[in-house]
Amino acid sequence: MCNLNESHTRINENGRIVIPSSFRRALGISSGDTVVLRLENNGLRITTLRQRLAKAQQLVRKHVAPTTSLVDELIAERREAARRE
């Protein structure tokens, strides 16, 4: 029985592994992309920077009203700080 969520691969002499193309497609990983490696529960978790950014944005949005623009607030704070100087 084949498990589409699992694959076996070997580590080459330079410590490199090949992520199967089906996995790269599923994760949206392209040649040249940067991935984040994390040791987790005695295993290795691979995510993309895009995934990490999306997760961070999702976490922030839990604490910020949808109508609030954090960019506008930051600009206003910087202008106020510059005015005080």
Distance, in Å, from the CA atom of 85 to the CA atom of 64, rounded to the nearest integer, reads 29
User: Is the pLDDT reported for residue 6 higher than 90?
Assistant: no
What's the chain's average pLDDT?
88
**What residue ranges do the domains of the chain occupy?**
21-84
User: Is the pLDDT reported for residue 1 higher than 70?
Assistant: no
